[in-house]
Amino acid sequence: QKEVEQNSGPLSVPEGAIASLNCTYSDRGSQSFFWYRQYSGKSPELIMFIYSNGDKEDGRFTAQLNKASQYVSLLIRDSQPSDSATYLCAVNRYNTDKLIFGTGTRLQVFP
Amino acid sequence: GAVVSQHPSWVICKSGTSVKIECRSLDFQATTMFWYRQFPKQSLMLMATSNEGSKATYEQGVEKDKFLINHASLTLSTLTVTSAHPEDSSFYICSARTSGTQYFGPGTRLTVL
């Protein structure tokens, strides 16, 4: 079992719809959770992070964390073609600086 | 805030030569920086953790004598690929950590002929 698992996709959604990206992790000691977006040929850019159970909203993005289920998700409202990218889930285990990355989910938003 | 730069953005070199890549945190100090490598259509692979003023910690399978890391100041870490070979051609990305979050540089695309 991989430490951080994501569906590779592609996830295809129409413009204006909600895109839901999911991520599960295996280490219950994980403390911090991050979502990065990576366009083809570019480096990852931080979208948002979440530490506590529940929802965290930032503009069109909402991160959801459920530590009991070891599950973190990212919702993108009013999806735009410019949101088409690979979304990387990353987890920071307790007492370590390292991030453990999932393999990413490719999102395609079509007009 | 939290801007990380890398130089060069791309480099082409001959097999057997060495290449140095710089990673700078522009608006914050970073005691810890990270070096990743990414092959086409694959995920990020952590190569090493760079700590200011001390030796880097390498991931399993990464040759420390081939990938030399120096973190001489709180804003600069360098990765030197020594005796580069075509199989070292990849996208090298650094990140710097502040307030518990990693911010990535734009990456360096290395092509070894």
Scan for tokens 């081939």, then name that residue.
Answer: B66
Scan for tokens 């999911």, then name that residue.
Answer: A22
Helix (H, G, I), strand (E, B) or coil at A30: strand
The residue-averaged pLDDT of A34-41 equals 96
Triad B59, B63, B67: Cα angle to 5°: 95
Do the Cβ atoms of B48 and B56 come closer than 8 Å? yes
Q: What is the pLDDT of residue A110?
A: 96
Mean pLDDT, chain A, rounded, equals 95
| Euclidean distance between CA atoms B110 and B37, whole angstroms | 10
* A49 and B CB contact within 8 Å: yes
* B106 and A CB contact within 8 Å: yes
What tokens does B91 get? 């996208």
A 10 A CB-CB count for A18 gives 12
The residue-averaged pLDDT of A99-104 equals 93
Residue A86 has pLDDT above 80, yes or no: yes
Query: Among residues of chain A, what percentage have pLDDT more than 70?
Result: 100
Scan for tokens 């395609």, then name that residue.
Answer: A108
Q: What is the pLDDT of residue B54?
A: 87
Residues on chain B touching A103 (C-beta within 8 angstroms):
43
Among residues A77, A90, A99, A92, the alpha carbon closest in space to that of A38 is found at A90
Mean pLDDT, chain B, rounded, equals 94
| Euclidean distance between CA atoms B95 and B33, whole angstroms | 6
Residue A95 has pLDDT above 80, yes or no: no
The residue-averaged pLDDT of B9-38 equals 96
| Euclidean distance between CA atoms B49 and B62, whole angstroms | 12
Nearest by CB to residue A43, choosing from B46, B101, B105, is: B105
What tokens does A72 get? 């973190």
Among residues A67, A74, A73, the alpha carbon closest in space to that of A28 is found at A67
* B46 and A CB contact within 8 Å: yes
Work out the pLDDT band at B43, boundaries 50, 70, 90. confident
More confident residue, B44 or A96: B44
